[in-house]
Structure 1
Amino acid sequence: MGKTVVTVILIVIIVAIVAVMLWGMGVFGNVFGWGNTWFGGGNMPVFSCNGVTVGFNGTLPNANNAEKGTQVEKNISEVQGVTLDFLHENIEVVPTDGDTVRIEQTSNQTLTDEDIMRFGMLNGRLVAQSGRYGKFNIGITPVAPGSMITLYIPKDSSLPVELDTTSGRIAVQGGAFGFLEADSTSGEVNIESVTASNVELDTTSGRVTVATLKSRSLDVNTLSGSINVSAAEIEGMAEFDTTSGSVDFTGSAEEIVSDTLSGATRAEASGLRAINISSVSGSAGLVCGDTANLRDIDVDTTSGSVTIELPDNEGFTVEFDSLSGDKSIQFEMLDDTYKNGDIEINVSTVSGGLDILKK
């Protein structure tokens, strides 16, 4: 019995020390509060029978600066950017013809005080967040299902916009933005008819769908959700990273980088200078609309098959490294070279085969 008591006391002491360290580093403010800094300090936590409430360090100066309501609007001349950060709420962005930036919260259920969003201005940015941020509740706390956060924004605003929700979905239906970032843990992310300087999309298990996008760059990361991009015009790099989800890209880009563990990658692209596909067991398929700028094709896979479709061109060189995979090329080769051999095709696989088809 004595040893058991000592063990329990030691566990309590260790947990208390860790909690104090995390609090001092700002982790509670980062995870449970309005924060995104490690060493922000922030307001002292308020203890109540409902749990721990942490101040708004990192996003708004303090709780007193956060207003509460289901609607906020600002003239676009007052706003340099928009940040939405929510938990269970769905987020929708709607372009408008006016000159007002407006955020509305609606629900098919009754909203409690904690469900109602908080908002304010920080360094020129309009910030709105879940009313449940800043409170860590022990036990099950009901939330209003079906809550929707809608951002109405002038269609040619070119404002930087950051969208974040834990389990809700995110949809952006048109508009022109600066930097556009959308992050959902388990919800889907849908982007359609958008122009932006740069686009970054992240999900854990939710699917990412992009249709008709113009941007300098595109960066998409998922754990198990699939990635589907169509009618994209990317001036620079389109980068995709997923563990088990598939990647499907159609459009134009200067460079494509796709890294998957078991998901297949398929790209039908024009304007390419380089493409790099890496996968353990997923197959890789590439259809090149043109080869005017194409210089490098690199594919690395363990067991997935590789198919490359090219129009007739000035020439390429093939380096194929495989233990048991077969190689088939529809072009008239001299050793491993076609015509001038300018385009370098490097394919490495353990058991997957390589097919190079003439388009």
Structure 2
Amino acid sequence: MKTSAIIRIVIYAFLAVLLVGILCVGILKPGWIPSKFIIHTGGLQSELDYPDSESYTRGGGSVQPDLVEKIEVHWGAGEVLISTYDGDRIRFSETADSKLSEDEEMRYLIRDGKLFIQHRKPFSFFGIGEAYKQKTLTLEIPASMTKASALQELKLETISASMTANDLAAQDLRINTTSGDLSLTHAVCDTAELETTSGNITANDLTAQELTVDAVSGEISLDGDFSKISAEAVSGDMEISSKICPEAVEMDSVSGNLTLLIPENDGFTTGFESVSGDFFCEFSTQNSKHSCLYKNGEAEFRMETVSGDMQIKRIG
């Protein structure tokens, strides 16, 4: 086992234990999980702060697309829904099961070509309880922006919220969730970074030249066109299907199975390693103890687990 892999296992194991403790409290009081927590003699402190908070506009709204090159969303708890529509403005709104105070309402700001959306007004919360109100954010982007790939960056960070997005296009797509599922359907980007601590990641018809996936606890299922893939998981199975054969693939897991599905191609070389898992490949390869070669071996793959199986399957 490589030293780097062992280090990753130790780090992820620590994060998993820490997450379980946080989630236990979250189960007792949904929506509690903080944006930033500090252990001190007074207990847990949850804080939300962001620059120029006084310049933000309260509530939902809409803005002209020509003012926006990047979108950055920070959402605390609930759900985030992103889609395109046949309109000429970027629209965003929120809903909640109960009346919101002014402090609990969303905020937005355009600065230097970037649209910022925040869950609420900055605050500091002490003790155990509901720090973030459960709310649903709906973000609608004009279809004309996605067709022209006008967005340079779409960045989304959630704490205790799920995210669903359809028909997106951005040069750089970055999504990070602490506790919540992530679902993408028909998205096109140059680079895609998808991360979750506790939640499933699902993508259908995702096109990315460079794909990076990182999950601590959750299932990963991705389908699309990928030139380069880097994926890591601690606990949970991972299946990535690419309609084209990637140039490079790295897949790592501690206690989950790894599956890569690719079509017929000119060749690849795969290095694989596991403590107690097996390796299987549907292509007619030349095999050695920890590697296999198919045709010219040009594409470079690496798969590594502690207790999970590794598979390369053929599409079609």
- TM-score if structure 1 supplies the norm length? 0.65
Structure 2 match to 1:245: 236
Of stretches 155-164 and 77-86 in structure 1, the one that deviates more from structure 2 is 155-164
> Is 1:267 the equivalent of 2:260?
yes
Q: Secondary structure at the match of 1:77?
A: helix
Q: Deviations over 1:146-168 (max 9, x none)?
A: 41111100224221211111010
Q: Quickly say closer, same or farther: Cα 1:177–1:319, change in 2 above 3 A.
A: same
Distance 2:110 2:308 in 1: 55
2:307 maps to 1:318? no
Q: 2:142 aligns with which of 151, 154, 168?
A: 154
Output one character per residue of 1:53-111: Cα deviation in whole Å (capped at 9) or x when no partner: 87633xxxx23211111x12111011111111011131110111222111111122222
Structure 1 pair 141–110 and aligned structure 2 pair: CA distance change class (3 A): farther
Instruction: Pick closer, same or farther for the CA change 1:348–1:90 going to 2, 3 Å.
Output: closer
Which amino acid is 1:150 matched to?
Answer: T
* In 2, Cα distance between equivalents of 1:142 and 1:356: 45
Cα deviation, 1:188-227, whole Å, max 9, x if unaligned, reads 0001111112111110010000111112121111001110
Q: Say whether 1:254 aligns with 2:244.
A: no
Correspondent of 2:83 among 94, 104, 117: 94
Q: Does 1:111 align with 2:100?
A: yes
Cα distance in 2, alignment partners of residues 52 and 263 from structure 1: 33
Equivalent residues in 2 for 1:1-359, closer than 5 Å = 31=36, 56-57=50-51, 62-69=52-59, 71-132=60-121, 134-142=122-130, 146-157=134-145, 158=149, 159=151, 160-230=153-223, 232-234=224-226, 236-251=227-242, 252=244, 253-270=246-263, 290-292=264-266, 294-310=267-283, 316-320=285-289, 342-343=296-297
Retained in 2: the 8 A contact 1:305–1:352? yes
Partner Cα separation in structure 2 for residue 346 and residue 219 of structure 1: 14
Unaligned runs of 5+ in 1: 1-29, 33-50, 271-289, 323-335
Specify the structure having the higher radius of gyration (Cα): 1
Alpha-carbon offset, residue 139 of structure 1: 2.8
Q: How far did residue 343 of structure 1 move? A: 3.4
SS in 2 for 1:320: coil
State the superposition RMSD in angstroms.
Answer: 3.4
Distance 1:182 1:297, change over 3 A: same
Q: Distance in 1 between matches of 2:183 and 2:73?
A: 16
Which amino acid in structure 2 is aligned with residue 212 of structure 1?
D
Which amino acid in the other structure matches residue 147 of structure 1? K
- What is the CA distance between 1:263 and its match in structure 2? 0.6
Shift, 1:112, TM fit = 2.2
Distance 1:63 1:268, change over 3 A: closer
Question: Over residues 4-57 of structure 1, what are the superposed CA-to-partner deviations in whole Å (9 max), with x where a residue is unaligned?
Answer: xxxxxxxxxxxxxxxxxxxxxxxxxx948xxxxxxxxxxxxxxxxxx9987633
Report what 2:12 is aligned to: none
Whole-Å separation in 2 of the counterparts to 1:105 and 1:168? 13
Q: Distance in 1 between matches of 2:58 and 2:97?
A: 19
Distance in structure 1 (CA, Å) of the matches to 2:308 and 2:215: 25
Which consecutive unaligned segments of at least 5 residues does structure 2 have?
A: 1-34, 38-44
Paired position in structure 2 for 1:10 = none
| Letter paired with 1:256 | V
Q: Which residue does the alignment assign to 1:6?
A: none
Q: 2: CA distance between counterparts of 1:357 and 1:120?
A: 47
The share of aligned pairs that are identical, in percent, is: 23
Task: Report the Cα distance in structure 2 between the residues aligned to 1:233 and 1:337, rounded to whole angstroms.
Answer: 22
Q: In 2 relative to 1, CA 144–354 (structure 1 residues): closer, same or farther, beyond 3 Å?
A: closer
Aligned residues: 265
Deviation at 1:321, TM superposition (A): 5.2
Which residue identity does 1:318 align to in structure 2? N
What is the deviation of 1:249? 1.3
- Tell me by how many angstroms 1:113 deviates: 2.3
Task: Specify the alignment match of 1:23 in structure 2.
Answer: none
What residue in structure 1 maps to residue 31 of structure 2? Answer: none
1:349 to 1:257, Cα distance in 2 relative to 1, 3 A = closer
SS at match of 1:303: coil
Is the contact made by 1:117 and 1:128 (CA closer than 8 Å) also made in structure 2? yes
What is the alpha-carbon distance in structure 2 between the residues aligned to residue 356 and residue 84 of structure 1? Answer: 36
